[in-house]
Each structure stands twice: as structure tokens, then as C-alpha cells.
Amino acid sequence: MSEILIKNASVCDPSQGINCETMDICIRDGKIVESVSGNAKVIDAEGKLTMAGGFDGHTHSAGKINVGRFINPNDARKNLVPGLSGQVARTEKTRAQVGYNTPNTYAIGYRYAKLGYTTICEAAIPLLAARHTHEEFKEIPILDKMGLSLFGSNWQVMEYIRDKEPEKLAAYIAWGLRASRGYGVKIVNPGGGEAWGWGRNVSGLYDPVPNFDVTPAEILMGLAEANERLKLPHSVHVHCNNLGKPGNYATTIESMKLFEKIKPSRDRQSLHVTHVQFNAYAGTSWRDFETGAPMVADYINGVDHLTFDLGQVIFGPAVTMTADGPVEYANARMLHEKWSNQDIELEDASGVVPLFYSPKSFVNAVQWAIGLELALLVKDPWKVMFTTDSPNGGSFVNYPEAFTYLMSAKRREEVISGFSKMALDRMVLPGIDRELDFYELAIMTRSTQSRMYSMPEKGNLKVGSDADIAIYDILPGQVDPSTEYAKVKAAFSSAAYTLKSGEVVVKDGEIEETPKGKTYWVNAKIPESIDTAMQRDIDRKFRKYYTVSKANYMVEDIYLQKPVEIGTEGVF
């Protein structure tokens, strides 16, 4: 039995409505408990901000990131954030680290832990490539992991939607999650990945997918209904159509509106929209491009069925990686960059393109502003999850820098002062004076995640929750984030302590221990008769089209590290 007592912590835990109150936290065997014995090891957290471990609910840390590593080897040496990037020699406790946007697996674990983060969600797992994603998960130390499986351009999905077979569709989703050991349903540019197989894209919600006679709107609704029928812990997780195109804010709002009629089967949203920064553009071309964030935020403020994350841009080099194949091809053409595109058989597409966000580029400056505008114009922080869509908007190691933008208007002004007049005319950020406090920041980095993924043991410090805890050397009330933002950045860049499952993994910004994390996946029960009928359909697909047999397709138990199976029972 291992016990820890964290004494005199200044606790910020929005899930319990605790706003920086001094209290003790008791830990036994990896969980938060009511009390501990006199033998407990004591951590004195006096004067330190204490939160649940950070939870990155949308990041690219395993799978496609490997393509990024291959095509962008110069990233290995980039040391743009000292202590959190570049090449670091091995030590007695840690393996060698390289990279900035596409760090090696070990570095991903250490660096998130140094930021006080303890859980990550890999945002896109192609079913067919899931095995390798889990192999990489195994090599990312410390963190708990989960992943979202791609269904938005899948032949079987589109056929069941076209043929109006909702029960078989739900059975297929359940099977796909089991096969890939995924946690939820990811939809990327619905239908667009399949269209890209023919060198095309879909242009909006009602543009039929070539050869399938279904529209992106039908794919979204079909998958959302299947998601709720299976009572999955997360809602569908959607990367909208027309990403990266001026004027796409209209498609984004239209997509969000569709979900007003979806009734969630659990106490959570019916839709999560991801990296909305890339989907909140107004104008008709790159010439008259401007922010669409006020329109999107206005809509979100008036409804309560959705959550979203930012996809905040960080100036400097980044690497885009997405299942949105046509977008990556367009990026490569426009930026004259290295690129990779992949066709994932019957399931989706993907692509990787490195790029550079410059404050001198008016488009990049406006993109930077849009992410912040969304976070600050949406009134309810419980609808917002902070992300850079790492490394699409920039590497996660820049989170502390981005927190200063959210917490300080003065810091924003400093950055904005370097923008051109043309950029300033296209954004509303300079007129926004809202500054987030530590409580709101905790919501966007922990509490929203716990609720939106239905993970009551994560993202909070309730008795019974996992003892994943971040202690930062900063005291709300004594530091004013709006002027002393350098202190905010320093504190969040180097946790005084990070505890993972009750074990001290970081102390004073240094890695202490590197335990293995858990892997969460969802096993949704379906009636045997429907499963049998669905299996007959996919047997045909495997025989006729796939390069692998069905028997070799499922990710076996041996690939999962400390698996946590979340069971659900659907309605059929």
C-alpha cells in the first residue's frame, strides 16, 4: 500500500467548483481517497497551484506522426523551446530524446509529463493501421492513452447509410472500435477521403460522395445516430468539410446545426467539433480572407449540444497531419512543400505536410487570432477544450506560451503589435479584453475533457478519481497573469510535481519515474444476430478488396498496455 499526503495545496478543481482553496489531498494505491495513515509520504504544496493532471483530448502522437518524422528529419534537432524540445542525451532515468513537432515516443511522454499532463487522446486511428498506433502507445512512457478511430470515408459505413441499415452500421462501428481498440468515432471531412481516391473532394454537406450516393450530411447523421445507439462514452468527433478554405465558417455552422436534432444517449454533448480555428474562416478567397470566429462563437453561445477545441496556431515551424487527404494535397501545392498522401484502402486517406506559421504573413496572423477569438468569445469555458491540434497548429510543448495569450490582453497586444495593418483589419482580437483566470484555464485543459469523454476518474481531484495531479510553482492571487505572464509560462512549462496514478513522475521539472500508462478502449455490445449479418458483409469486403485478411486485422490483446476496457450496451 503506497500513500501520499499533499499538504496545503492551493487546489483548483472546477469539476467540484473548487476555486483555488487551500486543502490537503490524500492518495492511496493510485487513487484519491478521503484520508491516509500517519505513514503517508508528505508533499508540501504550500504556495503552489494544484490541479488534476492535464488531459490533451486531441493530439497526434502515434501513427501518422511517424510519416512526419520520416519526411521532416531536420525536426529532430530543432530546439525552439529549451528543456522541452531538441536532442537530449539519455540519463539514468530517461531514454534519448529528439524532435520538436514530431518528437520520438519517449520525448512525447516526458514532455507532456513536465507540463503536468497525464492523459492524451490520439485523434485519428485508421482501423487498418491501428496495430502500429498501439505499438507506439506502448513506447510513450507515463501517459494514459486512448484513440479515436476513423469512420468518415469508410466504404462499409457509406453503404450501410445509403442502404438505410442503421443496426448493421452500429454493429460495424462496434466491431471497428474493437478491431482498432479505439475509444470513439472520428469523422474527418466526411466523404472527402473517399473522393480524394478519385483526385476529388466534396465541396459541402450536400455534395454526394463519388460512387456512393451519400452526402457528407448523411454520413454525419448516420454515424451520430449509430454513436448514440451504442451509447459510446464520447460523442462523434468531427473535423468538418472544407477545412482551411476561406468562407468555411458557413459549412462549420451548418454542420453544427445538423446535430441539434441528435439526442445524446449519455450526459455529454452530441457533437465535438475539432480544431475549429481551421474551420472558422470568412471571405471568398485568400485575398479577402478574414476571421469568421465571431459568427461561429455566436452560434455556439446560443446552443448547448456541442463542445469544440481550438487548433490554436503557434508561430514557427509546424507539421500538418490529417486524414483529410485533399487538404494536404492542396497545402503542398500552395506552399511548395514536401508532402505525403496515403490511400488507406477502403477506409480513408491521409497526408502530411510541414509548414511555417509566420507573424509576417497576414493569413497566419489572422489564423493565430482566430483560435484565441474562439476561446475568448465563447462565454462558457465548459464548451472549450484547449489544443493546438499538435503538431498541426504547433507543438504541444508551446501550451504554456499559448496560456499566456489566453490569460493576458497585454501579452496579446505585444504579439499583435508585430502584425501588418492588413492582418489587423481582418481580425477582432484587438477589441477583446477578456482574460481567462486559472479556474477557466483548468476547465479548458482538464474538466471539459473529463465530461466530454465521459471519464469521471480523469481531469478532476474527486475522491475515487485517478491520482493524476499537477502541482505548479505559482500561486493565484499572488501572481497577476495579465501582467506577470512570464511567471505563468515558466510555471506551466516545468511542473513542480506531476503525479501519475499516485506516483511522482516529475519533480522540479525533471523526470523522476517512467511508469507505463494505461490504454482505454471501448467494447460496445451488440446482438449476435446483427453482428453475424454484418460480418457476412465485411467478409465479402475482405475477400474482394483488402490486402489483409480479416483474421490478421484485429489488434490483439498483446498489443495493449495496461488495457482498460469500457463496456457499453447499446439499444437495438
Judge contact between 410 and 82, C-beta under 8 A: no
For the bound state, the minimum distance from the C-beta of residue 309 to Zn ion, rounded and expressed in Å, comes to 9
For the bound state, the minimum distance from the C-beta of residue 350 to Zn ion, rounded and expressed in Å, comes to 11
Of the pair 193, 283, the CB lying nearest Zn ion is at: 193
Classify each residue of 498-535 as buried b or exposed e, where b means 16 or more C-beta atoms within 10 Å of its C-beta. bbbbbbbbbbebebeebebbbbbbbebebeeebbeebe
Of the pair 88, 123, the CB lying nearest Zn ion is at: 123
Q: Is 372 helix (H, G, I), strand (E, B) or coil?
A: helix
Of the pair 275, 518, the CB lying nearest Zn ion is at: 275
Of the pair 63, 359, the CB lying nearest Zn ion is at: 63
Of the pair 122, 435, the CB lying nearest Zn ion is at: 122
Q: How far apart are CA 28 and CA 42, in angstroms?
A: 12
For the bound state, the minimum distance from the C-beta of residue 163 to Zn ion, rounded and expressed in Å, comes to 30
For the bound state, the minimum distance from the C-beta of residue 494 to Zn ion, rounded and expressed in Å, comes to 26
Helical pair 166-180 and 155-162, crossing angle rounded to 10 deg: 170
Which residue is associated with the grid cell 457476412?
536
Which residue is associated with the grid cell 465530461?
451
For the bound state, the minimum distance from the C-beta of residue 200 to Zn ion, rounded and expressed in Å, comes to 22
For the bound state, the minimum distance from the C-beta of residue 452 to Zn ion, rounded and expressed in Å, comes to 15
For the bound state, the minimum distance from the C-beta of residue 273 to Zn ion, rounded and expressed in Å, comes to 12
Q: Is 91 helix (H, G, I), strand (E, B) or coil?
A: coil
Q: How far apart are CA 449 and CA 74, in angstroms?
A: 33
Of the pair 159, 309, the CB lying nearest Zn ion is at: 309
Of the pair 159, 389, the CB lying nearest Zn ion is at: 389
Give the closest residue to 275 by CA, choosing from 310, 307, 314: 310
For the bound state, the minimum distance from the C-beta of residue 10 to Zn ion, rounded and expressed in Å, comes to 33
Of the pair 185, 495, the CB lying nearest Zn ion is at: 185
Judge contact between 57 and 387, C-beta under 8 A: yes
For residue 79, CA distances in Å to 73, 75, 76, 86, 303 come to: 13, 9, 9, 4, 42
Identify any residues that bridge with 469 across adjacent strands, giving them in sequence order. 52, 499
Of the pair 133, 404, the CB lying nearest Zn ion is at: 133
Of the pair 27, 188, the CB lying nearest Zn ion is at: 188
Residue ranges with strand state E in 363-486: 384-385, 469-472
For the bound state, the minimum distance from the C-beta of residue 238 to Zn ion, rounded and expressed in Å, comes to 11
For the bound state, the minimum distance from the C-beta of residue 22 to Zn ion, rounded and expressed in Å, comes to 38
Judge contact between 472 and 442, C-beta under 8 A: no
Residue ranges with strand state E in 399-452: none
Q: Is 559 helix (H, G, I), strand (E, B) or coil?
A: helix
For the bound state, the minimum distance from the C-beta of residue 188 to Zn ion, rounded and expressed in Å, comes to 8
Q: How far apart are CA 284 and CA 304, in angstroms?
A: 29
Judge contact between 453 and 183, C-beta under 8 A: yes
**Which residues contribute to the site for Zn ion (CB under 5 A)?**
123, 389
Of the pair 4, 370, the CB lying nearest Zn ion is at: 370
Residues 6 or more apart in contact with residue 564 via CB below 8 angstroms: 518, 519, 520, 521
